[in-house]
Structures are given as structure tokens and as C-alpha cells.
Amino acid sequence: MKRAVLLHNIKITLFLLTAATLLSSVFFLLSHNSANVAILYVLATMLVAQNTVGYVPGIAAAFLSVIFINFVFTYPYLELNFTLDGYPVTFLGMVIIASLTSTLTTHLKEQTQILKEREHMLIEAEKEKMRANLLRAISHDLRTPLTGIIGSAESYLEQESALSGDAKAKLVENISVDAQWLLHMVENLLSVTRINDQTACVKTTLEPLEEVVSSALQRFRKRLPDAVVHARIPDQLLMIPMDATLIEQVLINLLENAVYHSGSQMPVDLQVSVEENQACFHIRDYGTGLDPEAMDSLFDGYASTRNHCSDSHKGMGIGLSICKTIINAHHGQIFAKNHPNGAEFTFILPLGELMYESETDSSDH
């Protein structure tokens, strides 16, 4: 045992036994009942076991407690006398009880420490998995738009004199579209920095559902003004513990995926329901659906779509991986499935306070 640990154990043991002796003296003077004294020393032994390292301090405290009780609080006072009638049995009983209490407390403390270490290892493993998934997604999803930007720019520079005005405008439009997509992915990556690196959690506050959904839809319309979303939320005002900025990012990612990868021009449905004290967000499109073979790895950072005819360079990998990371940090769940007419993404958040009912009806956006 290291010297610092040994000194710590000795200080804690002496301090708690001294405190127990002083308190026992007060109780004994007031009641002349040694039963209360024994209880105080057992409590001190438990505290010693809980606040020291190893089994020895607790067991030593148990023996010292019995000696103190015999010396200070048992007739003849201030003398050690183990020959009193019945006292050897009492002495042995107290030693056993105190020692078992100390051992169990120390064992419980060690088990708690093991559980904490395992939890920490699981968090670290999840963080490493998240980093690996993000790196894999970044390498895949950024390569194609960057190649597109470089290719369009080189074509413009090398063939400027030979290109028509429409051709030049098309190249510049391609560069702008790819650049906007890259900016969106950077925003996604920056959102992850809001997640605590030590606990893989976020700082949440109670946020009104209606305002969060409305803000997300406004940001979504700025990106895709021609897209139509039918939003339906509960009539009652729901206050949900969340990081509003991150949940908005999740909604935008899922809505954009529904528009880009569904292969359909039909409106997207966004519906929020309350089930078993949880808020369930459903984003449903009406298109080609998801590839069943890709379901298991859909949120792992590398996700493609069966619809290759529309914006195929815009992979779902980074967006879905970050959605999963954000929802996990909120202690929620996210999953996807196909329905008869397309795909549906669902994420669930623990519900905070259920407030008063609003008179405002649900509306389409």
C-alpha cells in the first residue's frame, strides 16, 4: 500500500472513531445506556469502510470499537475487563457484526467502483465508435462533392472561351449546390461539439415542442423552399428536456433525407405523438423506401440509397450518424423502417412536463 493511502486510511479511521467516542460519551452521560454507544461505533465502522481503501481499516475499526466500548463505557470504567459474565459472547458478537458490516460495505464500494469503470469503458467505446463512423462517413460523403467542385471549376477555367453562357451558368450552379451541401455537412459536424466529451451527454433545458418544430421547419424551408412538409403536433403544449439546436438539426437532417432520397415529389409528413410519457417524432416520405439490406448499418456513418437518379452524391451517412449521436446523448432512441409507400424515420425523447392544452389546431406547413 502506498504511503499516501496508508496515511489517508489512518487519518480517516482515527477521526471517525474519535468522533464516535465523543458522541457516545454524550449519549452515555445522558442515558447511561451502552446500547446506543454500540450503534454509534457500528456506524463509525461502516463510515471507515466506506471512506478508506481496502478491508483492513474497517476490520481494524471494528476491533478498536469493541476495545473502546469495553474501556470507556463498561464497568469497571477506564479499565479493560473481558472476564465479566457474558461479555466474551458480547465481545465476539460485536466483533463479528462490525467486521461483517465493514467487509460488506467495502465490498459494495468496490462493486460500485467496478460498475463505474465499466460504464466509463462503455462510454469510451461508444465515443470511439462514433469517431470511427464519422471519419468513415466524412471520407465518403465529402469526396464526391469536393471532386464535383474541383471538376466544375477546372472545366470553367480551361474552357471559359469555348463555353456558352448557359454552360457557364450550369457549372457555377453545380459549384454552388455542392458548396451548400458541404456547408450543411460542416454544420452537422459542428453540432457534435455541443455534446459533452466526457459523458457523451448534452445539457438539456425544458423547451416547448411547437417552437422547436417551427424553428426547424423555417430553417428547412430556407434550404429547400420548394419542398412541402405536412406537420402535425399534439394540441397540448409539451415541454421536453432537450438541446433545442441539436434536435432542430436532427429534424432538418431527416427532412432533407426524405426529400433528397425518396425519389418522390410528394409532401413529407412530420408527426409528433405522445406515447407512454415519451415524445415520438415520425418523419415519413412517400417514395422508393430504404434498402432492407442496409437497415442494420443505416446509422453507422455510411449509408447509401437505392435512388441513384436524384442527388446521388448527397449521401445519408454523416447526417444519420450524427442524428443517432444526438439522440443517444438525449437518452433517446432512433430507428427506421419501411411502410407500404415509402420510408419512415422515428426518434423518441423522454417527455418532461405536460402543460396546459392549447386551443390552436394542428396545421399543415
3-state secondary structure 256-307: HHHHHHCCCCCCEEEEEEECCCEEEEEEECCCCCCCHHHHHHCCCCCCCCCC
Counting the structural domains of the chain, the total is 3
Residues 237 and 355: beta-carbon distance below 8 Å: yes
Judge whether 252 lies within some domain: yes
Could you tell me if 205 and 177 lie in one domain? no
pLDDT tens digit sequence for 234-292: 888 888 999 898 899 899 999 998 998 888 889 999 999 998 889 999 999 999 888 88
Could you tell me if 358 and 232 lie in one domain? yes
Calpha distance 46→41 (Å, rounded): 9
pLDDT tens digit sequence for 29-76: 887 776 678 788 888 888 888 788 877 887 788 888 888 887 887 777
Residues 322 and 246: beta-carbon distance below 8 Å: no
Could you tell me if 252 and 359 lie in one domain? yes
Judge whether 137 lies within some domain: no
Helix (H, G, I), strand (E, B) or coil at 337: strand
Could you tell me if 105 and 150 lie in one domain? no
Judge whether 21 lies within some domain: yes
Could you tell me if 176 and 209 lie in one domain? no
Could you tell me if 345 and 241 lie in one domain? yes
Domain containing 295 equals: 195-365
Could you tell me if 160 and 203 lie in one domain? no
Q: Model pTM greater than 0.85?
A: no
Could you tell me if 105 and 162 lie in one domain? no
The pLDDT of 300-325, averaged and rounded, is: 60
Could you tell me if 347 and 230 lie in one domain? yes
Work out the pLDDT band at 333, boundaries 50, 70, 90. Answer: very high
Cα separations in angstroms, 190 against 15, 144, 222, 346: 51, 20, 19, 23
Could you tell me if 359 and 298 lie in one domain? yes
Query: What is the structure's pLDDT at 359?
Result: 33
